[in-house]
Chain A
């Protein structure tokens, strides 16, 4: 690991100032689970780390007067998994938080850190492979070992998003509260935070060098939601595919449906054709089957990841059953 300066910020202002002063070599750090790994692997060598963990109140999970839930950037996955208000209203989010990684990681990992972690593509993580996302000339996954790679928007860089929290949060219509370089906070749909591979290969989130996520806000309408994933091991594994489903019904008809797939693209992937198949229906078995059939519309598997299509379909089917048929587990 390179030598670096360490700044413990006690306010968002101070954190931003320290990042600005540190210039291009400065990086914000939350619990550092991914960042410190990258430094040890030689993928990043920041001259200054600015810790935001020391900012008082940055880990709070609060319910506002309007009923909106504001989850602080530094809330841990464990805290989210154990928050009764989240469990009652946003079960998909709690399921994702409670099953990510392993208990050790969940106890340290923060919401913002989860959203901003870099991809786990084994070529991106290998210093010996100068891939596109590291500024090199080729995506080794295209003709290489690509079983874990993207099904959508995958002809440039085929890495997938590593954020499990993003999947239910996008389904739930969450907003990111981002503190801009000018010190003014703004809220944007969380889905807009993520950068598709075809737009920019060098970054995954739309944040400037001194911009910071302060919180994630859940203020949308009540949705019935569920999250699930398929992974080789139950203990500490990355998903082959993960997904979240959220629906709202009016008078027995689906008024709004979101189906979001994870580990299939560089961004949380909305299965819009499948969503459309559900709207206006009762969510009966035939409709669900139609939604499942359309859930992977447009997928372009690489040489070694076709199984993800089948697994994603199975997963979406199970989640729809859970959301529409409460008798099923």
Chain B
């Protein structure tokens, strides 16, 4: 990585050359973050896929981005050192994304950054330092995906979509959206997912399931709501556009008349009422948007992470003691599930920073740690307090405001930890991940 900046810290050039290996496959590029986080008039990236007979690779949670962010954000901190600037100040001087600018201001205050960054703190062999890094991901929408909402004569509600829930909680979000539109308790909604016989669901990748599907469910539920309102209008004696669905009833907007949801359903003449939604492009026509801030908001998901580490300078062992993750995911659909995504992304990032490593025998190319004994991922005692703050963005781009979350939260963690270790070690930097005790001791020796 090479960066050039003017004396005021404005980036003038970003260059990255990368060599990566996905074994016998392609896709080991890491240049994404170099192109989309910072404002810079000149950029060049050169990515090489190196083929090895060391097994195939598969895409995993923000492919190439934790690696790219580690290199870019390490270089940004080195640039800040060279310029005598605070690392967050340098980032703010080069970042136009309105959400990330807000996040940096919020984060540095909440974390106590300025005081902690002033100098590393020594406690015997332990030295504590702090570091920060930017996150980016893309507002990806899979067009053409669908969902169907059925309301049956017995009052039951079923939402159908082929999407899979791989742990992010899309099943719950689907139920929430339908319940909100129909004014029902979530327990009344049955969600059927995970079969290709159901309406086409989005692929579970790219952090796009919620952003792709939540608006579709909203659309399908709203179609059914309108049909129910048409059914209710003569019963309630008000026009259908004055009927409100909430708390398990349909009522006139002035509450003069009401009918329970199940009772209303029993009046339908057919077996069920059906609504169907299908995803269209949020971004259609946005290329022509006059407002550059809105264009950034619409295209890129923003996040920042700040970490505090303790480095044992005699043993090289690094412990992450605290993480602050400030994250944008558009409108938060489910706070509990969203926090779970952030916690998971941060913990995985700690694994990248300190533990995960595929050990290949240099002569045979065989993997020597093909199990969870030798291939380390963080355990419970490696998980520090993680302070999660969402900065919701109500972009109005779609009917729910949902954007992605799963991947951006694991992009900056290892980079921030690397920067914190360098801070603790007075600028001595570990340039390889994971930062094992052996590598940290090497960096200390210089």
Contacts and interface: CB of A to CB of B under 8 A. Distances in A.
Bound together? yes
Contact of A307 (B354, B379, B437): B437
B363 A235 contact: no
B241 interface: no
Contacts of A192: none
A139 to B, nearest CB: 13
Contact of B379 (A129, A147, A233): A233
A21 interface: no
Nearest to B363: A144
Interface in B352-377: 354-355, 359-364, 366, 368-369, 373-374, 376
Interface residues of A, number: 28
A314 interface: yes
Contacts of A231: 317
Given A145-B368, A233-B381, A240 B437 contact: yes
A13 interface: no
A81 to B, nearest CB: 16
A128 B363 CA distance: 12
A73 B383 CA distance: 35
B361 A140 contact: yes
A122 B369 contact: yes
Contact of A129 (B359, B361, B382): B361
Contacts of B437: 230, 232, 240, 307, 311
A276 B378 CA distance: 40
A173 B369 CA distance: 35
Nearest to B360: A145
A310 B314 contact: yes
The size bracket of the interface on B is: 20 to 34
A315 interface: yes
Nearest to B374: A122
A184 B436 CA distance: 49
Contact of A128 (B125, B314, B364, B436): B364
B381 A235 contact: yes
B380 interface: yes
A147 B362 CA distance: 13
* Interface SS, B side: loop
Contacts of B366: 126, 128-129
Nearest to B369: A122
Contacts of B438: 147, 304, 307
Contacts of B436: 232
A310 B315 CA distance: 7
B386 interface: no
B379 A236 contact: yes
A284 interface: no
Given A233-B376, A233-B382, A311 B316 contact: yes
B441 A232 contact: no
Contacts of A122: 359, 368-369, 374
A149 to B, nearest CB: 12
Interface core residue of A122, A230, A236 (most chain B CB under 10 Å): A122
Nearest to A234: B381
A315 B315 contact: yes
Interface core residue of A120, A126, A147 (most chain B CB under 10 Å): A126
B441 A102 contact: no
B376 A232 contact: yes
A200 interface: no
A194 interface: no
A310 B441 CA distance: 9
A143 B381 CA distance: 34
A-B complex: 6 closest residue pairs judged by Cβ atoms: A235-B379, A314-B314, A234-B381, A122-B368, A307-B438, A235-B381
22 contacts: A102-B379, A123-B368, A143-B363, A145-B360, A145-B361, A232-B355, A232-B376, A233-B355, A233-B376, A233-B378, A235-B379, A235-B382, A240-B315, A240-B437, A307-B316, A307-B442, A310-B314, A310-B441, A311-B316, A311-B441, A314-B314, A317-B314
